[in-house]
């Protein structure tokens, strides 16, 4: 039987000085699910259950996953049979969109390595900006709970909040912002924004971590799609490598191409590798970015995608979000760090089917 609401996320909030948590139920809307079974999950019997359990327990370190799965986070740490833990405690639900019955889309992302310097000097002339001081972020959650996943970004002009500067406008301005570091490639910097986090090897040999801190508030637009639309490349060619190759061949057109995506990401220096929106270090091949308007962060999913090289079928955890990740049956699989991970991530674009694994003992109260 199909449900019109995915489920109610259980969030634990401390009330005043009380040590007892208050349970607040929040609806995740626009998602339909249909009860399924583990027998219906493609290639389920070949899953690496121990790795899947390890990924789940790592996510259990966060409040959102604990709120969703409650005591299963504790019992999972003490189980001796990972497969039995999943089959006895969870029920898979197939996820469908309300707009279309077609398959979704799976893509990949990774943690890139850039070359940089803490001071501006050739060839390190492209700044990795921190959040500008004049960027205003308005959170609607307290006044409008139904808009809890939305933020308004802009700047103050007189007594009004107006849109912040676009990428093109920012390219010609001197930003009132700290610079995390400078890198040697505007194209690599652009793809760092797409990935959301990365590493920079400085000219003194030190490697620093940089990660997402904020946005300028504009909608993400795919430059790959733009190149397809104007006939510069085919759908199959529009990978990260394909776009970089096009930029190398068309240096005079690069600025115009990058400005087609008005969205711009601001960064901060971090003390650990790629960390998703959930707040834990991402696990290669087990962490995915999702659209949290449809799927809650911290939830356990089973994905099935048919790729040209091999089929991907596995348990993953929704630990991240991304500006390009829009829709219900949509995920971005994290491949890890380095060139090999980048090659795998850059060419992944496959039809996707998704299931969410919900606790058996909570279904009646949470559906």
pLDDT exceeds cutoff 60 at 363: no
SS3 category, 106? strand
Tokens of 132: 């500008």
- The β-bridge partners of 124 are 121
pLDDT for position 139:
77
**pLDDT tens digits for 188-221?**
999 999 888 899 999 999 999 999 999 999 999 9
H/E run at residue 179: strand 179-183
How many CB atoms sit inside 10 A of residue 224's CB? 20
Q: How confident is the model over 335-360, as pLDDT tens digits?
A: 999 888 988 888 888 899 999 999 98
The Cα–Cα gap between 92 and 73 comes to 17
273 near 111, Cβ under 8 Å? Answer: yes
User: Is residue 338 left, alpha or beta, with left meaning phi > 0 and alpha meaning psi from -120 to 50?
Assistant: left
Percent of the chain with pLDDT over 90: 62
What is d(CA 353, CA 305) in angstroms, rounded to the nearest whole number? 6
The pLDDT-based confidence of 18 (bands split at 50, 70, 90) is very low
Whole-prediction pTM: 0.75
């Amino acid at each position: 039987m199909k449900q019109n609401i995915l489920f109610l996320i259980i969030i634990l909030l401390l009330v005043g000085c009380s040590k007892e948590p208050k349970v607040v139920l929040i609806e995740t809307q626009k998602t339909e699910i249909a009860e399924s079974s583990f027998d219906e999950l493609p290639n389920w019997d070949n899953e690496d259950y121990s790795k899947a359990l390890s990924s789940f327990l790592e996510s259990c370190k966060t409040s959102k996953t604990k709120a969703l799965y409650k005591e299963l986070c504790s019992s999972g740490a003490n189980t001796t049979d990972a497969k039995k833990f999943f089959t006895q405690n969870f029920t898979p639900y197939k996820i469908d969109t309300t707009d279309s019955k077609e398959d979704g889309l799976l893509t990949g992302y990774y943690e890139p390595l850039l070359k940089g310097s803490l001071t501006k000097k050739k060839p390190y002339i492209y700044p990795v900006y921190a959040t500008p001081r004049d960027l205003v972020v308005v959170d609607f959650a307290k006044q409008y709970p139904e808009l809890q996943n939305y933020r308004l970004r802009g700047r103050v002009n007189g007594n009004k909040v107006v849109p912040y500067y676009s990428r093109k406008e920012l390219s010609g301005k001197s930003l009132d912002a700290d610079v995390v570091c400078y890198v040697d490639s505007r194209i690599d910097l652009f793809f760092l924004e797409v990935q959301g986090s990365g590493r920079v090897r400085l000219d003194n040999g030190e490697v620093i971590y940089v990660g997402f801190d904020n946005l300028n508030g504009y909608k993400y637009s795919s430059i790959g799609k733009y190149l397809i639309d104007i006939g510069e490349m085919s759908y199959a060619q529009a990978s990260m490598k394909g776009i970089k190759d096009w930029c190398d061949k068309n240096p005079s057109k690069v600025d115009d191409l990058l400005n087609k995506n008005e969205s711009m990401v601001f960064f901060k220096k971090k003390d650990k590798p790629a960390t998703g929106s959930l707040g834990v270090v991402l696990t290669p091949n087990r962490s995915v970015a999702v659209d949290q308007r449809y799927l809650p962060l911290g939830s356990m999913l089973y994905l099935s995608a048919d790729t040209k090289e091999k089929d991907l079928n596995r348990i993953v955890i929704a630990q991240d979000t991304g500006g390009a990740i829009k829709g219900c049956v949509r995920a971005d699989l994290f491949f890890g760090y380095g060139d090999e991970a980048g090659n795998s991530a850059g060419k992944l674009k496959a039809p996707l089917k998704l299931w969410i694994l919900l606790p058996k003992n909570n279904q009646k109260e949470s559906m």
